Structures are given as C-alpha cells and as structure tokens.
C-alpha cells in the first residue's frame, strides 16, 4: 500500500449546538475540528473513513483468493469481515448491538 497521505484515525463526531453543526475531530487532539459538517450522515461517513479504508485494505487480499482459503486464513478472514461490518455500521450511524440509529 502507498504511504498514508490522510489524517489517521480514529476520528469522532462532536455536536456544536449553538452553531447546529457537527465537528469531525481526532480524540485527544486539541487543534479544533478537522472538518465542520452540517448534517449527521456526512459526519458519520467522514468519521468512519479511516475504519472503512482499513477494513477494505484487510479484506481485499481475501477477495483475490477466496477459493484457495486454508484453515489458518479463515480466522483472519472472519475478523476482517467483522471489522468491515462494524465500519459500515459506524458510517451508517448504527448501534452494532441493536441495529438502531445513534
């Protein structure tokens, strides 16, 4: 993979009530928001971007050789699959346990 050229995650969403805007920020980073967004759906997708990228990067090699999976690869594949599902749920704003929107 190419060298990372974006701000690494994890990212989180903070709601700025007086301005009715969402801030996409990095935890423990005091430089203010990385991005200001005005709807929650876009904020969720942006905050999930590092997780989505990592999950897709992990799952891609398995797509190429799915027919040749050995017993050792299955555990790693299953975890990559679960990570992809979690990243998609984060992007959609879903609670993984209940399936409800956060």
pLDDT (tens digit per residue) in 44-94? 888 888 888 888 888 877 766 665 666 666 777 778 888 888 888 887 777
Whether this model's pTM surpasses 0.85: no
Peptide bond into 10 cis (omega under 30): yes
CB neighbour burial string for 23-54, b if at least 16 within 10 angstroms, e if fewer: bbbbeeeeeebeeebeeeeebbbbbbbbbbbb
- Cα separation, 62 vs 39, in Å, equals 35
Percent of the chain topping pLDDT 70: 71
pLDDT (tens digit per residue) in 1-20? 445 566 777 888 888 888 78
pLDDT (tens digit per residue) in 82-91? 888 888 888 7
Instruction: Find the helix packing angle between 40-64 and 71-92, rounded to 10°.
Output: 160
């Amino acid at each position: 993979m190419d060298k990372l050229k974006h701000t690494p995650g994890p990212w989180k969403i903070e709601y700025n009530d007086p301005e009715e805007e969402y801030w996409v920020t990095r935890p423990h980073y005091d430089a203010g928001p990385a991005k200001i967004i005005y709807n929650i759906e876009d904020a969720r997708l942006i905050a999930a971007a590092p997780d989505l990228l990592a999950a897709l990067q992990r799952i891609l090699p398995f797509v190429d050789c799915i027919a040749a999976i050995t017993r050792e690869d299955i555990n790693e594949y299953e975890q990559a699959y679960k990570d992809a599902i979690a990243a998609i749920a984060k992007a959609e704003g879903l609670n993984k346990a209940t399936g409800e929107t956060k």
